[in-house]
Chain A
């Protein structure tokens, strides 16, 4: 309703009674109701803008994820990663929930973990790897939106997650 413009900073009236330009606090203070309405409007606008920006990168990434899943990429990756699992003290089958986590998300990973018979320590070790690396395409798209390299961060999460799991497995063996 108010016609003060979109940017809160530029909406500050530069009257003689007001603060000098660049003063930190936005006074003369408008009424509480007006301020709430203004903040609400800016918040909704920022929310919608962010929602749109995230949606624009997340939905294509999600589509790609589904296609990869359909093409059997998860099984193929799990097959490749099988030998690696023993380093983490895990059975070869544990590669499946790990890859499900990488490509899909933690809920899908937990679902496929339930099909395995893992010890408490194995559950914890696998949980660490998946908690650090999961949903790599969609979350990589978000990092890309923030100006970072989504692929590099995906690789980082895989490597650092496996390393964290391996170290945890070693430490748990000591105590």
Chain B
């Protein structure tokens, strides 16, 4: 029991430190560069890609952060942007579904590639799968919402 508590304390501190060291710099960098032309160009380019799974330009930035750095960090930006802009439940649902299927594209994939997994399958195939699942679930959710309203 004592060692479980010790694991919990050290593990929690480790988790907190990692989240802190990533979340705070991401938020600062976002704040500093969100208004710049270069950042907007990157987000617009990404928005043109994720438009195909039903995401709008406002959802592009949180999705990009999650895709690159991880679900927790993307989730953090989603929470921030829900607070700031009205993202809308539909957009949050699409983002959550997409990021559930694929996030931290470099870090997570590399762990398994180092073990011998195929780059094509763990990266390209997974992205395509994520897009298909997102489209399918959004269609189902749309039907459910429509039926509930009717």
Contact = CB atoms under 8 A, between A and B. Distances in A.
B79 A128 contact: no
Contacts of B53: none
Given A106-B108, A106-B111, A124 B4 contact: no
B25 A160 contact: no
- Indicate the member of A43, A53, A55, A70 with the most B CB atoms within 10 Å: A43
Interface in B112-148: 112, 115-118, 121-122, 125-126, 129, 133, 137
B23 interface: yes
B20 interface: yes
A124 B118 contact: yes
Contacts of A120: 116-118
Contact of A127 (B25, B26, B117, B137): B117
A156 B92 CA distance: 16
A58 B19 contact: yes
Contact of B79 (A42, A53, A164): A53
Interface string A126-169: 01101110000011001101111000010011001000100110
B102 to A, nearest CB: 8
Contacts, number: 160
B118 A143 contact: no
B148 to A, nearest CB: 15
A44 to B, nearest CB: 6
A148 B79 contact: no
Contacts of B30: 43, 46
Interface residues of A, number: 51
B71 interface: yes
A59 B112 CA distance: 26
Contact of B71 (A46, A50, A113, A139): A139
Contacts of A83: none
A50 B23 contact: yes
A47 B15 contact: no
A63 interface: yes
Contact of B19 (A55, A70, A107, A168): A55
A51 B19 contact: yes
Interface of B: 4, 7-8, 11-12, 15-16, 19-20, 23-32, 71-72, 75-80, 82, 89, 92-93, 95-97, 100-102, 108-109, 111-112, 115-118, 121-122, 125-126, 129, 133, 137
17 contacts: A36-B32, A44-B28, A46-B30, A46-B80, A58-B72, A62-B11, A106-B108, A106-B112, A113-B115, A124-B117, A132-B100, A132-B101, A142-B71, A143-B100, A146-B82, A146-B96, A153-B96
Interface of A: 36, 39-40, 42-44, 46-51, 53-55, 58-59, 62-63, 66-67, 70, 106-107, 110, 113-114, 120, 123-124, 127-128, 130-132, 138-139, 142-143, 145-148, 153, 156-157, 160, 164, 167-168, 172
